[in-house]
Every structure is written in C-alpha cells, then in structure tokens.
Amino acid sequence: MTRKAQLEPHFSSSELKTRYLATLDKVERRRWHLIWLVSQKWTIKQAASAVGINYDYALEIVKNYNEQGEGAIQNRHKGKKPRKKALLDEKQLEELKECLKKPPADRGIWTGPKVAAWIAEKTGTEKVWPQRGWE
C-alpha cells in the first residue's frame, strides 16, 4: 500500500484550493494544485501525474512547502529580465531589414552566420555568434 504524504498545516485544504484557483502565475498555480491534491489524500505520485510534473520535482515542492510554507510556492523566476540583450538598436534593426530585402554581398542567400557578420561589422563587435544571426 502506498504511503500518503504528510503536509504541515500551513493552510487548510479549502485555503489551498482557493489559492490554487486564484493564482494567475502558471508555475505557482501548478504548485498550489499539487499541494491541494496532496492535502486531499492523493499520493505525491498521483498528484504529480494529475498536474503534469515529474515525481521528483513534486517531491521537492512538497518538501519545500513543509519546510517554508507559502514562500516555497512562489515562482522565483517571475519578473526576471531576460539575459540576452539586443545587439542592435532600432535604427540598426531597420537598416538590417532593408539589407535583407537584397542579396548579400556574395550574391548568395542570407544565412544566420552572414547576418551575424553584418551585425558585428555594424556594431563594431569583435565576435557575434552565428546563432545570434538567426535570432
């Protein structure tokens, strides 16, 4: 027989359901859903399967919730800025769009590496990785 997970009584089952239904953040909503199902006497494995997450990740969520309470459910990535910064300003981006309408200097076709080389030349950057040309 499978052992049911124990939750610390940070919130009642009805409070967990309310938080699950009221949360707008997708990550937090899934975590609240998991915790609510576990509070309904579901096993962690059943609850993880129901909300579509990995069992080990679900186990970690329950463990952290028991230790930290509500703080463990928060999405720590929410509001963070993306790491990549734009290589081109608006004027340069418009110039690139115009250049892409014509064949490149070698009369072939535009490729990611060719666009990256164009960006490096226009920005004075020593190296622009070829995949940034596709971006």
- Residue range 105-115, pLDDT digits in tens: 888 999 999 99
Residue 84 binned pLDDT confidence (cut-offs 50, 70, 90): low
In a domain, 83, yes or no: no
> Is 116 contained in some domain?
yes
| Tally of domains within the chain | 2
- In this predicted structure, the answer to whether residue 74 has a pLDDT above a threshold of 90 is yes
Query: What confidence score (pLDDT) does residue 1 get?
Result: 53
Assess if residue 79 is contained within a domain.
no
- Do residue 67 and residue 96 come from a single domain? no
Q: Can you tell me the mean pLDDT for 70-75?
A: 94
Range of the domain at 34: 13-72
Residue 3: is its pLDDT beyond 80?
no
Residue 81 domain flag: no
Q: Assess if residue 3 is contained within a domain.
A: no
Q: CB–CB of 131/113 below 8 Å?
A: no
| pTM of structure | 0.59
